[in-house]
Amino acid sequence: MMCKPISIALAVLALLAGCATVIDEHMPPPDGWPTLEMRTVYLGPVALEKKCWKYQPLYMKLLGGLVIQCVEANFEELTCTQYRPRDATDGDAHEAEHCDGRDHVGESTMRDAWTAWLRSKGEAACAAAGGLRASVVDWSAVEPYQFSCREGVIVTLTHEQVRGRRG
């Protein structure tokens, strides 16, 4: 009978989906993760689904998983916006942990977002330092940020300078 293997496979996928929604307590936030001001926006179900769908893991999309809530970190403004259902009444510690730089078990969404933002700022800093090629060889993720450009030049900036503000 073919139904039993399919049932077992679906049960295993559902179990894996549940594991992915747990914060990885063993992995620290990325080095240099800034303190972000937490904001909350309440949305209706359609608007919430539209806003958060892009953050849903592929396997959850394939399983028809519904978006419950999500967060967006804005490193320029040092904010972390939590998008929640309109009828939610209490705060959510799980999403607050994302704003502190923590990811789900087996994922690196927040870590990757921080790394990509910092690398893009380093490339701009290298390009601005005497017309150097916009490429970062290495950087420190802890303020003050140091970007090692290909030409051997090291650019050191504060978070305010990286954000384009005078520090």
Q: What is the residue-wise DSSP string for the chain?
A: --HHHHHHHHHHHHHHHHHHTSB-TTSPPPTTPPP-EEEEEEE-HHHHHHHHGGGS-HHHHHTTPPP--EEEEETTTTEEEEEEETT--S--HHHHHHHTT--BTT--HHHHHHHHHHHHHHHHHHHHTTS--S-EEEE-SSSSEEEEETTS-EEEE-HHHHTTS--
Examine the pLDDT at 160 and tell me if it is beyond 80.
yes
Averaging pLDDT over each range in 19-33, 59-73, 105-119, which range is the top one? 105-119
pLDDT tens figures, 60-91: 777 777 778 889 999 989 999 999 998 876 66
* Owning domain of residue 57: 11-107
pLDDT classification of 59: cutoffs 50, 70, 90: confident
| Together in a domain, 143 and 91 | no
68 & 89 share domain: yes
Residue 82 lies in a domain: yes
This prediction has a pTM of: 0.74
- Mean pLDDT value of segment 95-102: 91
Domain match, 24 and 72 both: yes
Q: What's the confidence (pLDDT) of residue 140?
A: 74
Q: Is 130 within a domain?
A: yes
- In a domain? residue 15: yes
Asked if 19 and 96 sit in the same domain, the reply is: yes
In a domain? residue 67 = yes
Count up the domains in the chain and report the number: 2
Task: Considering only residues 9 and 26, tell me which one the structure prediction assigns the higher pLDDT.
Answer: 26
Residues 79 and 146 in one domain: no
Same domain (yes/no): 19, 85:
yes
